[in-house]
Structure formats: structure tokens, C-alpha cells
Structure 1
Amino acid sequence: MSTSSALPPLDDAASIMDGLRQAMRRLAASVSVVTLRDANGAAGATVSALCSLSFEPPSVLIALNQSGSMHDRILAVDTYAINILYADQEEVSKTFGAPNRTADCFKPDVWEDIMGAPCLIGAQSTLICRRAAELPHGSHRVIVGEVLWTRSRPEVNPLLYADGGYRRLG
């Protein structure tokens, strides 16, 4: 068996974009809804780009589309919530992923206010974050949040998204 250290030829930009799209479809991601409350009321958006960043200080990062309705609003508030969805909360994801969502999405028996941010009752986990930094890149902006408060359900059963559809563990 021979091994070669030669690199494959570079693909054109369209091939790289298609290859990246296919690779990312295979990356299962937990589904979350980022929520906030500002002078215009409550707002939220479904995101799958969430990751742990640091434990000192406790921090996470999310990526938001700069043309999305949440982008400017999250830059105008200090705190926001990240609601990591439980397996049975697919409808919540669809509601906050729709382009024309309104504050009517926040029903009082399903949402509660914690530290000024709407939090989903029964979420897999909820994080309250203070916006600590941001970095624009391409079509998105990475938002770093310092975690101020957390709550998690004892059972682990998050809603996942992979290959264009919702998935569950097991």
C-alpha cells in the first residue's frame, strides 16, 4: 500500500460550497431557540449553531444570520436566553424558524420570564447569557454569551437536526 503526501487539486468555489453543505447536513446539531425581550416586546429565533466556548468564564457562542430579524435586536440588549429544545418540542422550533413569527408565539403557560428574557418551560436546558462579544463573518455574526444562569431537565433527550430533518437520540 503506498501513501502519498500530495494534496488533492483545489475545487472551484461552487464545488467547495456544495461539499461544505453536504458535510454540514451530516453534522447532527441540537436545536435551540434564542429569545430576548426589548422595548418592542419578546422575540425569538431557531438556531442550530450553538456551541460551548469556555468554562472560565462560562461562555457559549451562537451564530445568527445578519439579515434575520433577531440580528439587530440581540445587539441592542444585554441579556438573552438560549432554550435548548427537548425532543417533543419540534413545533417550537418550526414556529420560531418561520419568517413571520410574532410576539404571539410566547404563550404565558409555555413561557416564563427569567432575568428579563423569555424562557421555555420544559426545555431540555435553558441558559441566560450576557452578550460579551461579537464577530461578523460572511452572512452571519458570531455572538459570544457569558452564561449567568442555567436550568436543565434531569433526562437527556434533545431535539436534533440532521440531513434536513428533525431527529431524536436512540
Structure 2
Amino acid sequence: MADQSANRKDLDNALKQLSYGYYIVATRKDGSDLATRSEDWVSAATVSWAMQSSFEPPLITIAVQKDSDLNETIQRAQSFSLSVLGKDDESLIKKFAQQTEVDYSNQSVNGISYTEGKTGAPLLDCGIATLECKLEDALTTPGDHLLFVGRIVNARSNAGQPITEADTRRHYEGVSPRS
């Protein structure tokens, strides 16, 4: 048993050596196409597991909790946006880790305005870059997260440096979200 706990501790430490950034994923779908609600729905949340996964075509892969509203909405909408948070955006990490509050009349999510992208995904007015993606694939794993692969159809960038977990006291890595 001691050997297993040592291996788990090594695994936890090794996973914490990977680089993790902070991003906001946003998506939108008409209520008539959703199973869990009957009204239009914008879903947005903080994620830290995102990466480029292809040069041509340009693809990114994100990990989303299986039991989240974001999961269902991305699958139904078949699109999403990824906003790369900068060092000046740290307050948004917690804000988007909690319940999403949408003001449809002013097109804002948690107080951040957005425009509708080519795919219908909300493009949030925050961060140092935004990638708009059409869903190419969803990969189910035995784990608690699902992998979404998106083809980048639109991109915009701003000045600034990305924020990483090393820059914050927040952690979402290792063998548990609190390890």
C-alpha cells in the first residue's frame, strides 16, 4: 500500500509540472434545441485544460466537466469560443468558475459584453486572445472530463501576457482539483 501512495504522490507532483493557463469557454444554443431547458442559453465557464492540437487544419482541444451545462450546450451548439485570459484578467477566473449570469438584452455574461461570432458562439470582450471554433469531435474518456476538438474559424488577439496557474494561488491540476 505504501508503494501505491508514493506513486500517487509522484503522479500528483508530476501533473503539477505541466503548464496550465486560464481560459473562458463560451457557447450559445436556442432553447428549443436543449434537453435541460426551454429558453435560449449562453453557457460560459473557466477552464484550464486547453491546447493547440493541429497545425492544419488549425484545431484546439479543451477538457470540460461531463456533468456541466457547458458540456451539453457545446454538444448541442456544435461551436464554442475560447478566450485566453491575460495577467490583468485574474478576477475573471473566479467569476466564471461560478454560476453564469447572462443579460441577453445587453449581450453580456457575468458583466462581460459579447458579440455573436460566425458560428453563433459568444465572443467575449476580455482576455488577450479569442478563438472561435466549430466542433469537430467530442471524445469521451473514462474520466470526469470530456474532450472537445474545435476547428478554429475566427481569431482575434490583443496585447498582453497569458496568466498561468503559476501566477495565481488557484490550482486545478494533479490527482484532484484541490490537491
TM over 0.5: yes
**Structure-to-structure mapping, 1:121-132, within 5 angstroms:** 121-132=125-136
Q: In the alignment, does 2:38 pair up with 1:33?
A: no
Counterpart of 1:3? none
Q: Secondary structure at the match of 1:88?
A: helix
Q: Secondary structure at the match of 1:82?
A: strand
Greater fraction of residues in strand = 1
Cα distance in 2 between the residues matched to 1:121 and 1:163: 22
Bigger shift: 21-30 or 130-139? 21-30
Distance 1:62 1:11, change over 3 A: farther
Instruction: Give unmatched runs, 5+ long, in structure 2.
Output: 31-39, 171-179
1:29-67 superposed Cα distances (whole Å, 9 cap, x missing partner) = 221000011123211111110011101111010011112
1:105-163 superposed Cα distances (whole Å, 9 cap, x missing partner) = 6167632222212222242110000110111111111111011011011x341121139
What RMSD, in angstroms, separates the aligned Cα atoms of the two structures? 2.5
Displacement of 1:26 in angstroms is 3.3
Q: TM-score, normalised by structure 2?
A: 0.76
- Higher Rg of the two aligned structures: 1
Residue pair 2:112, 2:124 contacting (<8 A) in 1 also: no
Residue pair 2:25, 2:83 contacting (<8 A) in 1 also: yes
Counterpart of 2:66? 66
Residue pair 2:82, 2:132 contacting (<8 A) in 1 also: yes
Q: Secondary structure at the match of 2:18?
A: coil
Cα distance in 1 between the residues matched to 2:9 and 2:168: 15
Q: Secondary structure at the match of 1:26?
A: coil
Aligned length: 155
